[in-house]
Structure 1
Amino acid sequence: MKLTQNLATEIIDRLTPYIQVPMNLMDLSGRIVASSDPDRHMQVHQGAIAVMERGKDVVINEGNLHEFPGTKKGVNLPIIHRGQMAGVVGLTGEPDEIMQAAGVTKASVEIALEQIYIQRQAFYQERQWENWLHQLLHPREIDEAYLAEEARYTLNARMEGTWRVLVIQSDQVLSDKVGQLQTVLDQSNADPLFSVMYRETEFIIAFPADQQPSAFAEKILQQTQLQIGIGESHQGIPGLRTSYFEAKQAIKFAGKGTIAKSSDWEPERLIDAIPDDVYRAIALPYQKKLEALGPVYISTLKELLEHNIKIKETAEALHIHRNTLGYRLTQIEEKTGLSPGNLKDTILFAIILQHIDH
């Protein structure tokens, strides 16, 4: 990483409150790109040029000041980052008095450079994962071979394992929650394939199949009340895609305030897989007749199915007399042509009610 003007200014801003000595940072051209003295900005620093030519410290004192036109007494040290010279740090003052401060400053600049480098690498890595996910979750098709190559050479990740995807979803932008989510994930000692923001309202985590995400999900639900869905375990790149859509589907069925596991919604998933054209041809006419009866009859039918067609329990749940319930069920049968007491008709009602809800 080279010392640029923006980077040097950021470092100077960080260090100035702690180092009470005039300080300059020079880039590899020898220009002062950041300084505690704004008047020196962009001046060529002969001491820095000498450091780069010699590859070592340059101390400027009364004895050699004339060799460095336009400079002041002080100490100039090379900034080394990952084995390469990144720039020069210079402190102004009597060399014997500021040498220790210069060494501390040099170390501080190098540490700051490494921290910024790591932060940027993490940012770039996250952006790369986001781009990869957009391709993986394309609504129509994926190029598995291309995704595998991109993962291996760009993300340094291999996809041959078995993965389970957890989706955290919000109705609003999630960016202000990402730090909290990542902290909880780190504390869980999990080792996910990735944990990435997706389309601003989703945070996606891919867990190896041998890791259970339930404890992590419970903590997130306690702290945030966000929507959480967990897909099934599947193999490789197609498995990641499948598990993601299972998690999303589970969220749709379960709603808010709960952890939605795909395995808990198998009948609903089966119904959801019915092609639209098949549904329209078979069930839509009955749906229209049921909706014409109104919300009271729809809610009555829902309670009946939730209580396994048990009249007494359904009436109690609705807080109505059994005779009232019987009247409503008779009306449903007469108006729709389907009988709530018939197994085949009840299955069709279950399919219709799921479509009405979603």
Structure 2
Amino acid sequence: MKLTQNLASEIIGRLTPYIRVPMNLMDPSGRIVASSDPARHMQVHEGAIAVMERGKDLVIDEGNLHEFPGTKKGVNLPIVHRGQMAGVVGLTGEPDEIMQAAGVTKASVEIALEQIYIQRQVFYQERQWENWLHQLLHPREIDEAYLAEEARYTLNTVMEGEWRVLVLQSDQSLSDKSGQLTALLDQSDMKPLFAVPYREYEFIIALHADHESTALAEKILQQSGIHARIGIGERNNGITGLRASYFEAKQALRFSGKDISIADSSDWVVERLIDAIPDEAFGSIALSYRKKLETLEPVYIFTLRELLARNFKIKETADALHIHRNTLNYRLAQIEEKTGLTPGELKDTILIAIILHHIDY
């Protein structure tokens, strides 16, 4: 990574209040790209050129000042980043007096370069994962062989093994929450396959199946301060397993409703099974009964949902509805009379549950 004008200017601006010595930062061509003395900006620094050519420190004093036209007494040190020359830092003054400050400045610049490099790498990798994820979650079909190749050669990842996907869903944008959520994952000693925003209001985390996904979901909601719900998919194998786990997590969020903050797919097996019935098959078998149920007043539909949620326990359902159990029995009798379906009988109960799954209200 090379020292650029924008980066050098920011570094000079931050260091000047603390290092009260005239300071220059030079790019690899020897040009002053930032200086505490604006008059020297963009001048060619002969001392910096020498440092770049020799790859070592240069002290300019009375003895060699004439060798570097346009320079002043001082210390010029090479800035090295990941084994490559990135530029030169120069401080003006008596060399013996400013050598320590020059060393501090050099170290500060090199640390800044490394931090920026890491941030860019993380950002670049996140964009690569986002692109890969969009292909994985294509609504129609995927090319598993292509995705495996992309993962291996672009993302340096092998997709073998079992994974479980967590989907954070929020009514606020999650696109700028990557750093915060990644920090929480680091604190949890969990190394996800990836943790990236997907669209604006979703954030996806893919964990090894052995990790405690529910505990992580609870920690995210408690410590992140993000208002969100989290769906957890089943453990599945490989690339197709990742895709399946994502859609299972989304299903769990859909089935659970807004009052449940963590929805585990394993808690919604019956609903998932019902959801898997093709619309055509459902329509041809259950349409007549659906029409009858849809003619019922909303209070009857609500009563049936409450009854199903409480495993057809009459007293518990009556208490939840704040009605007398006789009133509940009357409603059930009315439902049977209007639809021909008897709530409480196994076959009719299954049919009612399936139809209610397809009714929105």
Q: Shorter-normalised TM-score: what interval?
A: over 0.9
Trace 1:107-186 onto structure 2 (pairs within 5 A): 107-186=107-186
From 260, 265, 272, the counterpart of 1:269: 272
Conservation of the 8 A alpha-carbon contact between 1:221 and 1:259: no
**Secondary structure at the counterpart of residue 62 of structure 2:** coil
Listed one character per residue, the Cα deviations across residues 155-189 of structure 1 (whole Å, up to 9, x for unaligned) are: 11111111111112112202454443223222211
Per the alignment, residue 291 of structure 1 pairs with 294
Of stretches 197-206 and 261-270 in structure 1, the one that deviates more from structure 2 is 197-206
Pick aligned residue for 1:344 from 339, 344, 347:
347
Summarize the Cα distance change of 1:102–1:222 in structure 2 as closer, same or farther, 3 Å threshold: closer
CA distance in 1, matches of 2:60, 2:316: 93
Of all paired residues, the percent bearing the same amino acid is 80
State the alpha-carbon separation in 1 of the partners of residues 295 and 171 from structure 2. Answer: 31
SS class of match (1:42): coil
Report which stretch shifted further, 261-270 or 164-173: 164-173
2:59 match? 59
Within the alignment, does 1:324 sit opposite 2:292 as a pair?
no
Residue by residue, what CA displacement relative to the aligned partner does 1:91-141 show, whole Å, maximum 9, x if unpaired?
111222111211221122112111111111111111111111111111111
Look up the match of 2:7: 7
Q: TM-score, normalised by structure 2?
A: 0.92
Question: Is residue 16 from structure 1 mapped to residue 16 from structure 2 by the alignment?
Answer: yes
Q: Secondary structure of 2:181's match?
A: helix
User: The residue matched to 1:56 in structure 2 has which SS?
Assistant: coil
Shift of residue 228 of structure 1? 1.0
Structure 2 letter corresponding to 1:221: L
Determine the C-alpha separation between the residues in 2 that align with 1:66 and 1:295: 95
1:230-251 Cα distance to aligned partner (Å, 9 max, x none):
1111111111111111111111
TM-score by length of 1: 0.93
Q: Which of 265, 278, 281 is 2:281 aligned to?
A: 278
CA apart distance, 1:196? 1.4
CA separation of 1:290 and 1:106: change in aligned 2, threshold 3 A:
same
Q: Name the structure 1 match of 2:236.
A: 234
Instruction: Assess if the C-alpha contact under 8 Å between 1:220 and 1:226 holds in 2.
Output: no
Q: Secondary structure at the match of 1:289?
A: helix
**Bigger shift: residues 296-305 or 58-67:** 58-67
Per-residue CA deviation, residues 47-73 of structure 1 (Å, 9 max, x unaligned), is: 111212222222222233232222222
Q: CA deviation at 1:40?
A: 1.8
Deviation of 1:42 after TM superposition, in Å, equals 1.4
- Separation in 2, partners of 1:324, 1:8: 78
Q: Would the alpha carbon gap of residues 105 and 222 (structure 1) be closer, same or farther in structure 2, given more than 3 Å must change?
A: closer
Moved more, 71-80 or 301-310: 301-310
Distance in 1, matches of 2:315 and 2:54, equals 94
SS of structure 2 residue aligned to 1:173: coil
2:359 paired residue number: 356
Q: Which amino acid aligns with 2:351?
A: L
Separation in 1, partners of 2:287, 2:62:
95
- Relative distance call for 1:96 and 1:312 in structure 2 (3 A) is closer
Cα deviation for residue 287 of structure 1 reads 3.2
Q: What secondary structure sits across from 2:230 in the alignment?
A: strand
Which string of whole-angstrom CA distances, capped at 9 and with x for unpartnered residues, describes residues 257-301 of structure 1?
A: 432111111000001111223333333443343233221111111
Partners of 1:272 and 1:204 in 2: CA distance: 23
Partners of 1:96 and 1:214 in 2: CA distance = 60
CA shift in 2, pair 1:158/1:6, >3 Å: same
1:246 matched residue in structure 2: 248
Report the equivalent of 1:93: 93
Q: 1:103 to 1:309 in 2, by over 3 A?
A: closer
Gaps of at least 5 residues in structure 2 are none
Cα-to-partner distance string for 1:200-232 (whole Å, 9 max, x where unaligned): 222211111222222211222334452111111
Take 1:85 and 1:106, find their aligned partners in 2: how far apart are those partners?
12
> 1:227–1:255: 8 Å Cα contact kept in structure 2?
no
Deviations 1:77-96, CA, capped at 9 Å, x for gaps: 11111111111111111222
Match of 2:84 in 1: 84
Letter in 2 for 1:26: M
Match of 1:45 in 2: 45
SS in 2 for 1:283: helix
- The answer to whether residue 260 in structure 2 is matched with residue 260 in structure 1 is no
Q: Which runs of 5 or more structure 1 residues have no equivalent in the other structure?
A: none
Cα RMSD between the aligned structures?
A: 2.0
Moved more, 82-91 or 179-188: 179-188
1:307 corresponds to 2:286: no
My pick for the range that moved more, 58-67 or 343-352, is 58-67
CA distance in 2, matches of 1:144, 1:14: 49
